[in-house]
Amino acid sequence: MKTVLIPTDFSANAMHAIDYALDLYKCERTNFYFLHAFADEVYGPFKKNNGASFEEQKNTIKKNVDNTLDELIEKLKKREHNPKHKYMALSAFDSLVDAVNDFVNQINVDLVVMGTQGQTANKKITFGSHTVQVFKYVKCPVLAVPENFEYRQPKKILFPTDYMLPYKRRELKLLNTLAAEFKSEVHCLYISDFEDLSLRQIDNKRFLGESLPNAFLYFERAPVKNKAEAIMEYISKNGIDLLVMVNSRHSFLEDMLYRSTVDEIGLHLKLPFLVMQNLPR
């Protein structure tokens, strides 16, 4: 039984991410939790509360959120009757990242799925601020789905790696399960001018292979240049369906996430992006 958490702000992008998740786990027994964190909605308009107390304001917003979540679930049940799926609503008077992390621990979440943009989408950037914050700080694999990406099975998965990280078994198990379900190729892309690996890299590469027994593994190398360009070029040439990267201290992904926007270094993704966490907390 898989447990999938889907944060939603009830935008079109969030609905698209829900649709993608339901298709991705169509054949698996899955508990889907739909989460709306509403602290920003309480604090934002509080100065214009028409005399209502803080608690009244909070309770009113929570009631509206709970009703909207219930309506969402009823809509999905009517539209997507799947006996393998169970739907549950979660609301939290908290920031999005804190709410997601709390529920990741409470209900033992396997994967967080969300849109790349929210209600205030800026079409000039690939990832909205909430998505980047979740990438950076949530202690669970996060899958971000672009609004214009039409679902297709992830038959070809790109996994850029420098083989320097001691990967986590649980997160590789998630990738292995996806590969088994869809009989996927996993392309491990090493961006370097040198073919030789250190003993540490050899060990991690071996562990990666042992942890993905159900994937059709390809170990590829690309010469050093702009890493984002190398990734985008490989995606284009090989018809990749899903990009997977690991977030860790001093990684290429961390370097991207700590800039003002991911787009500054040219990672203009139009396909789903799975971020696996390897961060000490």
Q: Which residue has the higher pLDDT, 267 or 266?
A: 267
Query: What would the mean pLDDT of 56-85 be, rounded to a whole number?
Result: 90
Q: What is the pLDDT of residues 173-228, one digit of tens each?
A: 999 999 999 999 999 999 888 889 999 999 999 999 999 999 999 999 998 877 88
pLDDT for 52 beyond 70? no
Q: What is the pLDDT of residues 95-107, one digit of tens each?
A: 899 999 999 999 9
- Model pTM? 0.87
Q: What is the pLDDT of residues 22-34, one digit of tens each?
A: 999 999 999 999 9
Domains and CATH numbers, the chain: 2-145 (3.40.50.620), 156-268 (3.40.50.620)
Alpha carbon distances (Å) from 269 to 106, 117, 263? 32, 12, 9
Give the per-residue pLDDT at 38: 84
Q: Which residue has the higher pLDDT, 54 or 138?
A: 138
Residue 261's pLDDT band, with cuts at 50, 70 and 90, is very low
